[in-house]
Amino acid sequence: MSNQIFQTLKELLTPLSQSQCVLHKHELLICGGYEQRACYSYHTLKNEYKFICEYPSDVKLIGHCVLRLVDNNKHKNQITLLSFGGFFKHTLMMKYVSVWSNTSNKSNELSHYNQWIPFIDNHNHRIIIGKNENHNYNGVRAVIGGVKNNLLFITYPSKDISVFDLNIFQFIKNDELPTKHSILYHCLDYQFEYDEDNNTFKFRQLLVCDDIAPFNYYAYMRINDVILFFGGYCYPNVVSKSVHKYSIRENKWMTFQNTLPSPLCECVAILSEEDNYIHIIGGRDDKETTVSTHIKTNVRIFDSSLLVMICLFIDETK
């Protein structure tokens, strides 16, 4: 049954675990992995990969994080990526133009694109997020928010949360999550609100399913008010192939009978909004082997209401 639900796609060009992935139109940008510096673009319509670049040779990737920055540049086909954290901290940025277009071949139009370059402040000083604060960014998780989309919310071991202002290149808040357990390669069991005027957090504890509570290193993704979880790892050597769903609005969990084709952890999940397919990329199996697996499944299989909500969201943004 699982093999019919998950469609096998063309294998990755190299085995990857702990990878980071960003959506750009019909492309999934796969940005490195555990001790792997290569970055690729996967085209969802062509089922093909193209090499983008490698991280600099002095960067060692273990548990890093990559996000798409919100920027209003004049190049509509250009996006900006931020890569930071990991066991060995780094902070780099990339101005990306599709490797599938003719624009990316015209070197005189844009400079320093499709390569990782230092993240610098307004005075050309290099910034390494978290270096001076001695934060532990192995398996770091982050999102961008705030009224002006200039705030980087960072959660990291053992149970810390910080706010980094991308406009002034400084931390404006460091706090501790109200949990008894350490976090590592995680998805939070707390919902938080941040008051920008008063620089304060308000936390609300979420219900955690007993089946998934001992696991981490799972792939997860949020679609509207639902979070889907795929696989995961539980010490000392249990690798899961289960699929779970958490409804934020209802504060309820569901474990699906449909599972991954095989046990998998340290993989990454991302939604291709153009066709409503969830892609699950790379990872490590129950034999501790890093895999080249790339599979996809339609979001409606796990919740038909998500398909309707996604379509409505896309229509409203046209």
Given a contact cutoff of 8 angstroms between Cβ atoms, the answer to whether 188 and 245 are in contact is no
| Sign of the CA dihedral running 216, 51, 45, 295 | negative
Q: What is the pLDDT of residue 305?
A: 60
Q: What is the pLDDT of residue 293?
A: 97
Dihedrals phi, psi of 104, to nearest 5 degrees: -65, -15
Longest pairwise C-alpha distance within the chain: 57
Radius of gyration of the chain measured on its C-alpha atoms = 19
* pLDDT band, residue 110 (cuts 50/70/90): low
Dihedrals phi, psi of 80, to nearest 5 degrees: -120, 130
**Mean pLDDT confidence for 107-123:** 84
Domain ranges of the chain: 1-12+210-318, 19-184
Given a contact cutoff of 8 angstroms between Cβ atoms, the answer to whether 131 and 177 are in contact is no
Could you report the per-residue pLDDT of 133-156, keeping only the tens digit for each?
Answer: 889 999 999 999 999 999 999 999
Flag whether pLDDT at 163 surpasses 50.
yes
**Percent of the chain residues past pLDDT 90, beyond the cut:** 75
Given a contact cutoff of 8 angstroms between Cβ atoms, the answer to whether 96 and 113 are in contact is yes
Given a contact cutoff of 8 angstroms between Cβ atoms, the answer to whether 295 and 9 are in contact is yes
**Mean pLDDT confidence for 100-104:** 74
CATH number of 1-12+210-318: 2.120.10.80
pTM recorded for the entire structure: 0.91
Average pLDDT, the chain: 90
* pLDDT band, residue 10 (cuts 50/70/90): very high
Q: What is the pLDDT of residue 312?
A: 42
Flag whether pLDDT at 107 surpasses 70.
no
Could you report the per-residue pLDDT of 303-313, keeping only the tens digit for each?
Answer: 766 544 433 44
